[in-house]
Amino acid sequence: MMSIQSTLDAAARAAFESLGFPAAIAGVQESDRGDAPYQCNGALAAAGIAKKRGEKVNPREIAVKAVAILETDPAFGKLEIAGPGFINISPAADLLTTRANDLLANPASGLTADKTKTIVVDYGGANVAKPMHVGHLRSAVIGEAIKRILRAQGHTVIGDVHMGDWGLQMGHLISELTLEQPDLPYFDEDFTGDYPAEPPVTMDDLARLYPQASNKAKSDADRMEESRVATAQLQAGRRGYRALLDHFIDVSVAALKIGYGNLGVEFDLWKGEACVDPLIPDMIGGLKAKGITEEDDGALIIRVAEGEKDKTPPVMLLASSGAVLYHTTDLATLVDRKAEINPDLIVYVVDQRQALHFEQVFRAAVKAEWYARDQLFHAGFGTMNGKDGKPFKTRAGGVLRLEDLLEVMNTAARERLEASGIGADFDPAEREEIARKIGLAALKFADLQNQRMTNYIFDPERFTAFEGKTGPYLLYAVVRIKSILRKAEDMGVSSGEIQVEAEAETDLVLALDAYAKAIALSAEKYAPHMLCEHIYRVAQSFSRFYAGCPILADDVPAEVKASRLGLAKATLAQLEHGLDLLGIEAPDRM
């Protein structure tokens, strides 16, 4: 079934078209005046069109004719003309009732896009051998939500973590491991046997070795040269070094899966830059054959500036030393995705500070005729900042590990629960699990409710509040409805067909009706904050409904109890569905 707004919109457009005006001018929109839920302003535009035709007619006259047509349509309840020709619209009770029962039967009603696509969402971007930190949060949380929202529309969506597993950091690790364990077979160039199946390092070893080597190299030119030589030999295909890289990746991926898993984030592909290295020689050969590359001071480049005034720097394919760069591996990744997936669209969820890099890469890919420009999109985002307004760091000035950030949120949620007395009689394990879900919901909703380009301040105390626009407020709404349903079951009361009568019921159904629109807008603009706004509106509407329309009170007639219980179930289903798209899980009780 179409949404209520879509039903009214289609009828209004048809009415204006029958009066000789373009359907496009007669869209029905949510009203911001409070006189009615919806409004059509087509009469004002129609009067302007009539004037250009030489017809003398005012907007109100056109509105009167449109209303006369719409009054014959059973979808419309009350129609009023306001001001110079605004048409205020209230849907018919039967339409509200039909739509409410449709949503009860299918919480995802109307979400599927008209045309579905195959889409790659590139997000995550964690590095091999480095622990996850606070800087990985936004890409993971926003990317996961975008992936899930697009899937809700019926698209085939592949999430790719696109790890950093190439370059100097690998040379640092290999050369440092050479110093610590020189007798490993990976360093013997004459070794021809099978390398050990078990990695020679743990994740803790990698987390220690990399900064250890990096710090040495900063003050010791000879030590830096050792890392550069190791990097060059790795990229040239030295057998032992490639085997070590495989170990580094396996150990890191195992740790990353735990880290991302703790955030409720999952990927379909665990590829990195190393995966596409074998494609680079043929790719560069093909780009040269197309005549779009050139030599510049010994480097191989693609010029991507568009016009004399455009100062966009060229794409660097090969440095003067012959080394490949980030541009090179990102272009090779596009080649790989074209061959393996052939996506209709690739969305990169990466810090906005990388905008120039992606603009360069996208222009090169278009110039190579691999993709059209509208097939590549950079969904940039701002930073999570400390109270000093700068990207969030520890008190000592370091980068906070992700696991420590989650513990900060767990502690804040635990303290909030204890202060409020919520769940005081639950066993410790359940209380701890509730605190974990509240802390994670608080963190993720605080991030996602912001327009993604916006910077925001990390504030655990504010994030974990049960009042206001927060994750815990939404979880409490879900838990309250679950409690109502359990109580109804204990009373032997079942939900039934919804009959919309009270004003608070109408308001709640209208809020629920906007779900498909919120999903569509969130998907179109890669903007999860629009879905956050919708879910918060639904939770608020349910709160008003619950206060104004008793569900299980003794004096409520049985059929009204059944109807209101049905409306509560429809609300719960949509809240849980929407929260799941944001990657947020609610407990069964608090």
In this structure, the number of other CB atoms found within 10 A of the CB of residue 13 comes to 20
Question: How is residue 324 annotated by DSSP?
Answer: B
Stated as kind and residue range, the H or E segment containing 30 is strand 28-30
- Look at residue 440 in the predicted model and tell me its pLDDT: 97
- Per-residue model confidence as pLDDT tens digits over 497-524: 999 999 999 999 999 999 999 999 999 9
- Per-residue model confidence as pLDDT tens digits over 156-194: 999 999 998 888 889 999 999 999 999 999 999 999 999
By CB atoms closer than 10 A (0-12, 13-18, 19+), residue 485 is middle
- Look at residue 167 in the predicted model and tell me its pLDDT: 83
Task: Report whether 301 contacts 293 (CB < 8 A).
Answer: yes
Paired tokens of 447: 């991030």
Alpha carbon distance, N-terminus to C-terminus of the chain: 35
Paired tokens of 77: 């309840």
Number of residues written out for the chain: 590
- At 443, the pLDDT band (50, 70, 90 cuts) reads very high
- Look at residue 251 in the predicted model and tell me its pLDDT: 95
Paired tokens of 149: 């929202």
- At 125, the pLDDT band (50, 70, 90 cuts) reads confident
- Determine the Cα–Cα distance for residues 127 and 172; give it in Å rounded to an integer: 14
Q: Could you tell me which residue, 518 or 396, shows the higher pLDDT?
A: 518
Angle at 195 between CA 194 and CA 197, to 5 degrees: 110
Residue 397 has pLDDT above 80, yes or no: no
CATH number of 4-91: 3.30.1360.70
Task: Report whether 364 contacts 125 (CB < 8 A).
Answer: no
Residue 393 has pLDDT above 90, yes or no: no
- Look at residue 395 in the predicted model and tell me its pLDDT: 65
What is the pTM assigned to this prediction? Answer: 0.94
- Look at residue 389 in the predicted model and tell me its pLDDT: 85
Residue 235 has pLDDT above 70, yes or no: yes
Task: Evaluate the CA torsion angle 117, 120, 123, 124 in order and state its sign.
Answer: positive
- Determine the Cα–Cα distance for residues 38 and 43; give it in Å rounded to an integer: 15
Residue 394 has pLDDT above 80, yes or no: no
Stated as kind and residue range, the H or E segment containing 326 is helix 326-340
- Per cent of the chain over pLDDT 90 is 88
- Determine the Cα–Cα distance for residues 142 and 155; give it in Å rounded to an integer: 18
Helix, coil or strand: residue 28: strand
| The dihedral formed by the CA atoms of 543, 544, 546 and 550, expressed in degrees to the nearest 10 | 170
Mean pLDDT of the chain: 95
- Look at residue 131 in the predicted model and tell me its pLDDT: 86
Task: Report whether 23 contacts 15 (CB < 8 A).
Answer: no
Q: Where are the domains of the chain?
A: 4-91, 168-271, 275-378
Residue 142 has pLDDT above 70, yes or no: yes
- At 246, the pLDDT band (50, 70, 90 cuts) reads very high
- Per-residue model confidence as pLDDT tens digits over 40-90: 999 999 999 999 999 989 999 999 999 999 999 999 999 999 999 999 999
Residue 230 has pLDDT above 70, yes or no: yes
In order of 126, 136, 256, 324, 405, the CA distances from 163 in angstroms are 5, 12, 10, 17, 21
- Per cent of the chain over pLDDT 70 is 99
Q: Could you tell me which residue, 109 or 335, shows the higher pLDDT?
A: 335
Q: Would you tell me the crossing angle of helices 137-152 and 558-581 to the nearest 10 degrees?
A: 130
Task: Report whether 161 contacts 271 (CB < 8 A).
Answer: yes
DSSP per-residue string spanning 390-436: SB---TTSSPPBHHHHHHHHHHHHHHHHHHHTTTTTS-HHHHHHHHH
